Amino acid sequence: MAQQTSSTVILAGGSGALGTHLAHDLLSRGHHPIILTRRVDPSSPFEQVVWDGRTQGDWVDVVTADRPTAVVNLAGKLVDCRPTTANIAALRDSRVDATRALVVASRMRRTPISHWLQSSTTAIWSDAGEQWCTEATPVPEPGLPQMTGVAQPWEAAVDGANTEHLTVLRTSIVLDADAPAMRRLAGLTSAGLGGRIGDGRQWFSWIHVDDWLAIARMALGVDGPTMLPDGVLVAAAPNPVRNAELMAQLRKVLHRPPAPPTPGVLLKLGAVALRTDPALGLTGRRARSDVLADAGFEFRFPDLDAALADLVGS
């Protein structure tokens, strides 16, 4: 799938923040994004096809059409929820069911999908402490159920996909000015609540949305011949920071004074009220990609201060 050839790219879960960014990016480069969605948005500029993320239906026709086709699978329930047994099952099933449905549809094609970008997360390593997490790092057993317990079966569900190239993209926290997580973090910091969380030593791996898009294009082969090997790929900037440094950098770009820390006990109590998972703030991964380094990929934003300044500095 060369850059000059217009291709169809099917984005499952493409109505979310990352999917919308990628769809616009692909459209601007002459490709045809098709969004698989549970609910059609009349204001969207993209072709949209309704699916339920579980069963076969009319949507299969866009997958099986006899044309050059790539798949990007971003489908899955948002992780910002309490880690109850029911919620963890919903997180896992929403990802596994959607992936399996796509795999079944791909096997109905006469020719393989050209490139398949399968979303995953660096949270597959749960709380990794001080170790570096790269493409070669083993997955912990058993790991946290809401992290490893969701990501591992999500990745396994893509087995058997009818595709020439498969990239399993373990993405770190994507820094995007439009994302709810970034708006919440910036809002709390602006309100004077931008202190470290817990002891502040937990690692924060991140990636600027522009770099994530460049990696996605590379994995999809739309920037030229594919230069990445198939398999697991870590989408994380090469310079992760600890939580204390993250909050200090946010205060700096938002021109806020030092703020008191948020003790872990207080965060856990607040998480109950906000119906979120305290592990999202108290755990971390120190991740980087050896595969991207070997491929000569150059990050536009390798350092956090420049990334934050670009996104929220003004």
- The residue-averaged pLDDT of 150-171 equals 98
Residue 157: predicted pLDDT: 98
pLDDT confidence of residue 224: 67
Mean pLDDT for the chain overall: 92
pLDDT tier, 5 (very low <50, low <70, confident <90, very high otherwise): low
**pLDDT at residue number 187:** 81
CB neighbour class for 203 (10 Å; exposed up to 12, middle 13-18, buried from 19): buried
Strand pairing category for 69-73 and 113-121? parallel
Confidence (pTM)? 0.94
Domains by residue range for the chain, with CATH: 8-176+206-239+285-300 (3.40.50.720)
Give the Cα separation of 198 and 73 in Å (integer).
34
Cis omega (within 30 of 0) for bond into 142: yes
Q: How confident is the model at residue 312 (pLDDT cuts 50, 70, 90)?
A: confident
> Beta partners for 73?
12, 118
Enumerate the β-bridge partners of residue 133.
Answer: 287
Residue 288 pLDDT: 98
* Confidence at residue 2, expressed as pLDDT on a 0 to 100 scale: 39
pLDDT tier for residue 60 given thresholds of 50, 70 and 90: very high
Task: Outline where DSSP puts E strands in 255-310.
Answer: 286-287
Mean per-residue pLDDT for 50-65?
97
- pLDDT of amino acid 4: 45
What is the per-residue pLDDT for 161? 98
171-220 pLDDT, tens digit each: 999 999 887 778 878 887 888 878 999 999 999 999 999 999 999 999 99
First to last CA, the chain: 38
Beta-sheet pairing, 241-242 with 203-204: antiparallel
